[in-house]
């Protein structure tokens, strides 16, 4: 591993590391057609039951293929899944359907928290151990995760109170935060982790799979 230090002079440490270490990795280059077909089949099978849909698409996506997705692809797909599910929450709010809002919100809340959890508890610790960086990008990412969870907590209260407009307002703030956060992860941190953790990824992926039913 080529990382020797993390420098902070008011610049984003992620950018510095990018300059120092990375060879370009196209995280979108391995789009998997089987995965898309599987997801479509799961959507059809799941019908209206969005909780089942999540379990089915998530499980199928990662068991149907012989080769596991690359680290960067796997976590990037997590971002896309959360984005799509938030749109379903917004749609339900627009339709003013409280029960669909509740189920879509429950799904979104769980998906996003689970994504943050597997980064913090599986991927980041290994990356920190491999690179020796504990006060750099992963620390920034963890702080942003805390901000996201704070917004999710507030949104859960709004949802429970039936204040859906407040949910949307908080959701706008959350989405802005997520967008900036995901750009940093997809553009820098994931390619870095993919390189640094290449030989550990199958083992890390098993650890992630074991967290599917864990409370988040």
Smaller CB distance to Fe ion: residue 53 or 123? 123
Least separation, in Å, of the C-beta of 70 and Fe ion?
15
Least separation, in Å, of the C-beta of 161 and Fe ion?
28
Sequence-ordered list of residues with C-beta below 8 angstroms from that of 66, at least 6 positions apart, any chain: none
Q: For residues 58 and 202, give the distance between their C-alpha atoms in angstroms, rounded to a whole number.
A: 17
> What does each C-alpha distance from 87 to 4, 94, 100, 185, 199 come to in angstroms?
41, 10, 12, 21, 36
Q: Per CB under 5 A, which region of 44-52, 103-111, 133-141, 199-207 contacts Fe ion?
A: 133-141
Task: Provide the CA 192 distance to its chain's centre, in angstroms.
Answer: 16
Residue 185 found at the interface with Fe ion (CB under 5 A): yes
> What does each C-alpha distance from 193 to 8, 129, 140 come to in angstroms?
20, 11, 15
Q: Per CB under 5 A, which region of 34-42, 65-73, 86-94, 111-119 contacts Fe ion?
A: 111-119
Smaller CB distance to Fe ion: residue 37 or 142? 142
Cα angle 122, 114, 151; round to 5: 120
Residue 73 found at the interface with Fe ion (CB under 5 A): no
Smaller CB distance to Fe ion: residue 14 or 141? 141
**Per-position x/- string for 112-131, each x denoting binding to Fe ion as judged by CB under 5 A, each - no binding:** -------x------------
Residue 213, classed as helix, strand or coil, is coil
Least separation, in Å, of the C-beta of 172 and Fe ion?
19
Q: Which residues bind Fe ion (CB under 5 A)?
A: 119, 141, 185
């Amino acid at each position: 591993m080529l990382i020797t230090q993390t420098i902070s002079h008011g610049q984003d440490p992620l950018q510095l590391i990018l300059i120092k270490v990375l060879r370009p990795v196209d995280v979108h280059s391995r789009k998997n057609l089987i995965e898309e077909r599987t997801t479509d089949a799961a959507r059809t099978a799941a019908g209206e039951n969005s909780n089942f849909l999540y379990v089915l698409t998530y499980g199928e996506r990662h068991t149907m293929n012989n080769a596991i997705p690359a680290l960067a692809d796997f976590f990037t797909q997590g971002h896309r899944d959360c984005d799509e599910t938030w749109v379903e929450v917004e749609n339900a709010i627009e339709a003013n359907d409280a029960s669909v809002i509740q189920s879509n919100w429950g799904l979104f809340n769980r998906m996003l928290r689970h994504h943050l959890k597997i980064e913090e508890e599986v991927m980041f610790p290994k990356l920190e151990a491999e690179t020796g960086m504990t006060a750099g990008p992963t620390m920034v990412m963890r702080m942003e995760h805390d901000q996201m969870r704070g917004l999710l907590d507030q949104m859960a209260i709004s949802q429970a109170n039936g204040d859906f407009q407040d949910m949307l307002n908080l959701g706008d703030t959350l989405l802005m935060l997520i967008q900036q956060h995901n750009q940093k992860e997809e553009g820098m941190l994931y390619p870095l982790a993919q390189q640094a953790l290449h030989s550990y990824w199958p083992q890390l992926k098993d650890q992630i799979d074991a967290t599917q039913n864990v409370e988040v």
